[in-house]
Chain A
Amino acid sequence: GEDVEQSLFLSVREGDSSVINCTYTDSSSTYLYWYKQEPGAGLQLLTYIFSNMDMKQDQRLTVLLNKKDKHLSLRIADTQTGDSAIYFCAERGLNTGFQKLVFGTGTRLLVSP
């Protein structure tokens, strides 16, 4: 089946930029998403990008997509302690039936003061 991989952990200082990376295998991916999960809560949609784009910016968030390498990144500018959470990359494509999301295992971001 299709796979999405992320590094497990990232630690940054408040005010720095954070970059969370994701790789995927589905060559038919059409949309790629970033979700945030805080302890005991569900997933909050942060942003998403269509596969024919290579960059999307939304306030402090910048998504970069390298479709050739199947690599997605999420940059958070001026990271705050409130950004500490688990960040999930997810993709949706024809090879996975187009409806369901395939998630990575999540990257735990820890922001220290």
Chain B
Amino acid sequence: DTGVSQDPRHKITKRGQNVTFRCDPISEHNRLYWYRQTLGQGPEFLTYFQNEAQLEKSRLLSDRFSAERPKGSFSTLEIQRTEQGDSAMYLCASSLSPGGVNQPQHFGDGTRLSIL
């Protein structure tokens, strides 16, 4: 069990640029979640996948955000035309849900995005 892996750990970019983050969940975890954490706050839910299907999206996920999990394994989160307000830590989590029973979510170390 290698844990949830996120890449990159830090990303600095200029306003208006596109960025993409990657998350590799714990092997065989069928559910994958994205959260956003701003300074001094708890994480806020963005979206989640069961296998390759994106089942829920938060209102926080504007049209500039898109997430994919093409083969039900790793996931990517893309932000287009970044804005200052996108600066945050983006956290990925995964869980196993055998027979629909939810197991706890395990988090990666996050990608810290800074918009100049």
Contacts and interface: CB of A to CB of B under 8 A. Distances in A.
Interface of A: 4, 31, 33, 35, 40-45, 48, 88, 90, 92, 97-106
B28 interface: no
Contacts, number: 59
Contacts of A33: 104
Contacts of B110: 41-42
Identify the interface centre among B42, B44, B109: most chain A CB within 10 Å of its CB: B42
Interface string B5-27: 01000000000000000000000
Interface in B40-97: 40-45, 48, 55-56, 58, 91, 93
A43 B33 CA distance: 13
B107 to A, nearest CB: 4
A28 B33 CA distance: 21
Interface size class of B (residues with CB under 8 A): 20 to 34
A99 B42 contact: no
B91 A43 contact: yes
Contact of A92 (B42, B102, B106): B102
Contacts of B106: 45
B91 A106 contact: no
B40 A101 contact: no
